[in-house]
Amino acid sequence: MERRAALGLMGLAPALPPFWNTKRANADFQLDPSDAEDLHRIYRKVAYSYDERVVYWYIQAVRMGLVDSAFIPFWEMHVGFMFRTINLDEFSFRNKTLSSIFYTDLETGKLLEVFKNPLTGEKISVRQPGLRRGESWYDLAKQVREPQKTEGAKVSVETDIGPAWIIGDDVWVYGDTSVRSEPIRHDGLLLQVNDWSSYHASLKEVADPEVKSANATRNFVDVNTWPTWLNMGDRPGNYVSRGIGRKSWSLDGMPARWRQLMEDNYPEAMRDIDGAITG
């Protein structure tokens, strides 16, 4: 996650899109995940918001190395995303985001400063991701990004919304991002980032026009190439994390350990999350 700009998350809408003002938007309405417009509505309401509140997401995960099909635990990750959404039109919105990620020791729970790499034996100063602000923009079908240009590499990005599934009252929707940077020169290194988020919510909430941001949970997996600061060189393997998370609308909904890490490292941001988001 720390190798890409944090994906924007959000919360500010001056007026609700027409969909939410129609008679077909009620708790009995069955959204169609195969319809592009309904898919967008599901994704925005489950992953983000249709109202002005600051929305909070946490992810608790374990970072691992994957070598010869075996997973090797490295450290814990405590992730927080805080965001506001700016409504642009019925199927377009922009996010202002604040993210904070902390790596902690698996045994002591303390902020990790030095990591002894079990694959190389080297002791390395840990590059903590820190506190970041960002913005992102979504259209009907994807997160829109400026074309990436990297000298000496060919870059491709995939940010499509969905797919989604409805089974009974369960709604699942994917929100994935893939970035691939292929070196043009023979001495360059391949960069691949795969961030996979699986969101879950209640159909009753998602289809209810009175609910502007549905209660939701999240399963997160990423499968990436090694970050340069781990000094892996061309060693075969992958940089992988696996975690779970939940959406809320206040700091009280965030895990106690993440809140303490924020207090210890970014007390000013903790005192004014809204101001920290907007900068």
Q: Tokens for 101? A: 């990620």
Q: How far is CA 182 from CA 100, 153, 195, 222, 238, in A?
A: 29, 5, 18, 19, 16
Q: Kindly report, residue by residue over 208-236, the tens digit of the pLDDT.
A: 999 999 999 999 999 999 999 999 988 99
Contact 111, 128 (CB under 8 A): yes
Least Cα distance to 73 among 113, 100, 103, 96 occurs for 103
Identify the pLDDT of residue 148.
75
Q: Tokens for 36? A: 């592009």
Residue 244's CB is within 10 A of a number of other CB atoms, namely: 12
Q: How far is CA 261 from CA 78, 79, 97, 174, 265, in A?
A: 9, 10, 19, 29, 6
Specify the amino acid at residue 15.
A
Specify the amino acid at residue 83.
F
Q: Kindly report, residue by residue over 238-257, the tens digit of the pLDDT.
A: 999 999 999 999 999 999 99
Place of tokens 């970035």: 179
Contact 223, 189 (CB under 8 A): no
Q: How far is CA 60 from CA 21, 77, 196, 265, in A?
A: 37, 6, 14, 18
**Residue 265 phi, psi dihedral angles, 5° rounding:** -110, -30
Cα 175 to chain centroid distance, Å, stands at 8
- The secondary element (H helix, E strand) that includes residue 268 is helix 267-271
Name the stretches of the chain with pLDDT < 70.
Answer: 1-29, 187
Identify the pLDDT of residue 70.
98
The pTM of the full predicted model, rounded to 2 decimals, is 0.88
CB proximity list for 135: less than 8 A, separation 6 or greater: 8, 94, 95, 96, 97
Identify the pLDDT of residue 5.
34
